[in-house]
Amino acid sequence: MTDQPLQVGGGRKTLGDFAPKLAELTDDVLFTDVWNRAQLPARDRSLITVAVLTAGGDTDQLRFHLGRAIENGLTPDELIEAITHVAFYAGWPKAMGAMAVAKQLFTAPDTNA
């Protein structure tokens, strides 16, 4: 699985000056180690992460990971379907919150134009 993009965290960038140990663990353990293990492709890790964050109602983290999932090869349609599927196992309100985040991200005008 060497053809997948290297997964890099942003812990030091976002929290390094405030919570350096959490930033270090985020970057060095979660991303450098766990996300880049060869046993599971980044695309699958992203799908799992989106499902778990949806199930937990963690919409702040979900916002980042939906974007990461797109970078890792998932399509908006696949992510919308995953959130819909999770609704029946994790709860309707959590899925509705997650879908609102997805809608905001996937329908926002492209700011790179």
26-59 confidence digits (pLDDT tens): 889 988 899 989 999 999 999 999 999 999 999 9
Picking from 98, 73, 75, the residue whose alpha carbon sits closest to that of residue 7 is 73
Return the half-sphere exposure (C-beta side, CA atoms, 13 A cut-off) of residue 70.
11
CA–CA gap between residue 105 and residue 60 (Å, rounded): 12
Domains of the chain (ranges, CATH numbers): 7-39 (no CATH), 41-113 (1.20.1290.10)
Percentage of the chain exceeding pLDDT 70:
89
| pTM confidence score | 0.85
Mean pLDDT, rounded, for 98-107? 97
